[in-house]
Amino acid sequence: MRRNRLVTAMVAATPAIALAIVGLTPAAAPPLLQTFALSGGMRLVADTGTSAAELPQRSTERFSLVGVTWDDPRAMAAGTIEVRTRPVGGRSWTPWQALETDAPDESGGTAARGASDPLWVGPSNGVQARVIGTGALPAGMRVDLINPDAGPAPVEPEPAAFSASDLPARPVPKLMTRAAWGANEKIVKEAPTYTGPVGVFFVHHTATGNGYSCKSSTSVVRGIEAYQVKSKGWNDIGYNFLVDKCGTIFEGRRGGVTRNVLGAHTLGFNTNASAVAVIGDYRSAALSSAARLSVAQLAAYKLGAHGYAPAGRVLVTSGGSPKFKVGRQVTLNRISGHRDAGLTECPGNALYAQLPAIRRLAGAAPSGLHVAKVSRAWLWSGTYWTTGRLVPLWDLATSTRMINRFDVYVDGKLALSRANWTRLGELRLAPGEHTVAIRAVHLSGRTATVSIPVVADVTPPAFTGLPQVSLTGGTVGTTAPIRLSWTATDPAGLRGVQITGASRAALGGTVRSLTGTAPIGTASSWTVAATDHAGNRREATLGRTPEVSQETEATRTGSWRTSSDTGHLGGAAASATTGDASLTWSFSGSSAALVVGRTTTSGRVGVYVDGAFQGYVDTRSTAPMYRRVVWTRSWAEGGEHTVRVVPEATAGRPKVIIDGLIHLG
C-alpha cells in the first residue's frame, strides 16, 4: 500500500515554528487509488456456510468506489465476490454486496487486468471483501479503492505533502571534526572502508593518563593518531570516536561520522561495530558525568540509527582474537567494554563499572515529557479550545543531546517533526474534536508521548437573550440608573464579555448583567461582545434614550400640593395624602421607573400599569432622600403604556412625594 500522504506540513516564517494543516480538504487529500491483496487462504464464513478468500475488515483512507481486479485479463473469477464498507463518520458496516463479474475483457493492452464491475459506495474509510466459492482464484487478486475527489480543492493553495524528507535529519552529536582537532591526513595510508549496520558499540580507554587539561585534549588526540599510525603501523587512528574527561567528543577514524566506518579497535569484532575511547586511564579514576553522557550519546546515536536497543544484547561471530577463535559465536551487550571481546583490562575497572549506567542512559525512553503551554488556545473544562491555530510548547527532563527529534501528531496522523532542540510547533486544525500528541524520539529509538484534547471551534457564541437595557434602582440626576442584561451561550464556554459604549467593562463569562448610568435626554448605545474559550467573538449593539416626565406632565385627580426644594427634579415635586388623588403618565418606551422623595414619615403608593394594579411601594426611609427610584417595570419590546400612582393614605404617614416618571425610549 502506498505511504499515507494525508498529513501535510508547511514551514513557517520563523525557523523555530513549522505550520501544519490537518483535516482541511487540501491538506488531507487521500490517494486516488488504494490496493489491498485478497488472500488465497480459505476460511468458513458463518453467515453463508461456505469457505471464502477474504480481505479482513480494515480502515483505509477515504474512497467512494470499490472493485476487485486480478493479473490476467482473460481469467474468470470463480465464486461470488462480495464487499462491505464503513461510511465516513460512521461506526457500523454496510450489508454485504456482491460485485458483478462479466466475461474476460481482452481489449486492454499489455498492462490490462481482469476486473469485476465497480461498486459506488459513497464516502467511506473502511472495507472488507471476500470471494465465496471453491474455485481457484486468479493470480494477483486485489481490492481496489478509488477516491474520485483526490487532488487539490479550491479552498486554498495546496501545501506541500509531508514526506520522509520533511523529517529533521538525525542529529549528529556535537563534536570536533578531524579538521578541528588537526588530524594529519598526510599520514593516513588508505581510503576508509565501510561496514554494515552497527550492532555493537565498544567502550575503550586510551590508558594515556589523566594529567591533561581539556584545552590540551586536541593535542592528546593528535598524539594518539600519530602513535597508532606511525608507531603501530596502522592505517589511521583506530577508534571511531574519542571523548575527553570534560565530555568533548572528537571524530576518530576518517570516513564520515554519519557512515559506518570500519575501525581498528576491537580485534575480531570490528565488523558491524563502532567504538569510542575515553581519553585517560580509568582503572581507578572515576568517569565524569559529562564524559558518561557523551559516551551514552554516541552509543545511542550509532546503535539507534539501525533500530538496535542500546540496553539489549546481540549474538556476534568472532573474526578471530586471543579470547575467541575465529567463527566463535559470542553474546555481547550492545554496549560492551573492550574486555568483553578481548584479553585486556580495557576500559579499566572504574569505567567498566559505569557501563550499566551508560546502557541505561543510552537506552532510556525520554522522561518528563509534558505540555508546558498551548498558545492561541485556552484550556477550559480539561480541553483546549481554539479557532484552528495553536502552538503547543513542550519540554522534558532528558538532555537534548539524547533526543533525536519531536514528532507532532493530530488524530494519529503525523503533522510535523521538529529538531531535538525545538520545543514548539504551530498547527492549524479543521473544525471539530482532535487529539494532539507530541512524541519525543530518543536517539535509541525509544519514545515517549504526551497528548492533549483540542477542539477547533469557529462558531461564535449565540445570544439566547439579546442585550436589553432597563431602568433600575438608584438616584436620578442628570443621568438615570440602568441595568444592561444579556444571555449568551457557547459549547466552548464563555471566556469573557466586553462592554463598550455608554458603559465600559471587561467581565467574566458567567456574568449576565451590568449596572451603570445613562445621560437623560441623550441617546446612548451599548455593545456587548461575548468571546468563547476558542476565541470566537459575537457582538450585539442596542441604543436607548432616558426621558423624564415630571409630575407636572402627569394627568391629575384629587388634591396635590407642590413641594419646592432644590433636591427635587426641576426643583419641585407633588405631594398628596388621600387615596382619591392620582397621577397618570402616558409614554412610549421599553422601561419605566417611578421617582419619589423619601422621608421618615412617607407612606405607601399604589402603582397601576396599563390599568392593572401592580401593588404598593413603601416610600419611607430612615433619612431624607431625593430623586430616588422606588419601582421599575420593563418590557421586551417598546410600546405605548400608562403608569398611574395613587397614595394609599397609609395610617400615621399618609403623605407621598412624587418627583416624576422616567422611561427609556
Q: pLDDT for 598-615, tens place per residue?
A: 999 999 999 999 999 999
How many Å apart are CA 442 and CA 367, to the nearest integer? Answer: 10
* Gap between the Cα atoms of 344 and 203, Å rounded: 12
Kindly state the cell numbers that stand for 585. 403618565
Return mean pLDDT, the chain.
Answer: 88
Q: Is 296 helix (H, G, I), strand (E, B) or coil?
A: helix
Give CA 540 to chain center in angstroms.
Answer: 32
H/E stretch holding 355: helix 355-363
Let me know the angle formed at the C-alpha of 498 by 493 and 499, rounded to the nearest 5 degrees.
135
Determine the pLDDT at residue 10: 25
**Residues 6+ positions from 34 with CB-CB distance below 8 Å:** 1, 2, 60, 61, 63, 144, 145, 147
Burial class from Cβ neighbours inside 10 Å (0-12, 13-18, 19+) for residue 412 reads exposed
Better-scored residue on pLDDT, 313 or 10: 313
Task: Report whether 518 contacts 558 (CB < 8 A).
Answer: no
Report the percent of the chain where pLDDT is more than 70. 89
Please work out, in degrees rounded to the nearest 5, the angle formed at the alpha carbon of residue 187 by the alpha carbons of 183 and 190: 105
Tens of pLDDT, residues 257-269: 999 999 999 999 9
Question: At residue 250, does pLDDT exceed 70?
Answer: yes
Residue 273 CB coordination number (10 Å): 26
| Count of H-run helices and E-run strands, the chain | 5, 43
pLDDT bin (cut points 50, 70, 90) of residue 625 is: very high
Residue 341 makes CB contacts below 8 A (sequence gap 6+) with 202, 266, 267, 268, 269, 318, 321, 323, 324, 330, 332
* 221-235, 453-467, 525-539, 590-604, range with the lowest pLDDT: 221-235
pLDDT exceeds cutoff 90 at 68? no
**What Å distances lie between residue 466 and 253, 309, 484, 523, 526, CA to CA?**
77, 63, 10, 19, 12
Is it the case that residue 102 has pLDDT exceeding 80? no
4 has a pLDDT exceeding 60: no
d(C-alpha 9, C-alpha 649), whole Å: 82
Under the banding of pLDDT at 50, 70 and 90, the label for residue 107 is: very low
Model confidence band, residue 154 (pLDDT cutoffs 50, 70, 90): very low
SS3 label, residue 581 = coil
> Poorest-confidence range of 165-169, 203-207, 292-296, 548-552?
165-169
Instruction: Tell whether the model's pLDDT for residue 98 goes beyond 50.
Output: yes
Q: What is the pLDDT of residue 9?
A: 28
What's residue 109's pLDDT?
46
The band of 24, judged by pLDDT with boundaries at 50, 70 and 90, is: very low
% of the chain exceeding 90 in pLDDT:
73
pLDDT digits (tens, 9 = 90+) for 406-426: 999 999 999 999 999 999 999
Which pLDDT band, with edges at 50, 70 and 90, does 153 fall under?
very low
Whether the per-residue pLDDT at 302 is higher than 80: the answer is yes
Q: How far apart are CA 385 and CA 230, in angstroms?
A: 67
DSSP letters of 195-262? -S---EEEEEE--S-S---GGGHHHHHHHHHHIIIIIT--SS-S-SEEE-TT--EEE-SSS-TTS-B-
**Residue of 632, 481, 657, 629 lying closest to 572 (CA atoms):** 657
Q: Counting Cβ atoms within 10 Å, is residue 508 exposed (0-12), middle (13-18) or buried (19+)?
A: exposed
**What confidence score (pLDDT) does residue 19 get?**
34
Q: Mean pLDDT across the stretch 373-382?
A: 95
Structure confidence by residue, pLDDT tens digits, 348-372: 999 999 999 999 999 999 999 999 9
Distance CA 90, CA 252 (A): 58
CB neighbour list of residue 187: distance below 8 Å, 6 or more residues apart: 225, 226, 229, 230
Q: Which residue, among 617, 630, 589, has the nearest Cα to 469 in the 3D structure?
A: 589
Q: Other C-beta atoms within 10 Å of 241: how many?
A: 28
- pLDDT of 241 reads 98
Mean predicted confidence (pLDDT) in 309-334 = 95
Residue in the structure block whose three cell numbers are 426611609: 621
Residue of 120, 123, 113 lying closest to 99 (CA atoms):
120
User: What's the whole-number mean pLDDT along residues 284-297?
Assistant: 96
pLDDT band at 1 (very low <50, low <70, confident <90, very high): very low
pLDDT band per the 50, 70, 90 thresholds, residue 111: low
pLDDT in tens, 335-347: 999 999 999 999 9
Query: Taking residues 549-577, what's their average pLDDT?
Result: 94
* 607 grid coordinates: 402603582
* Residue with more model confidence, 501 or 72: 501
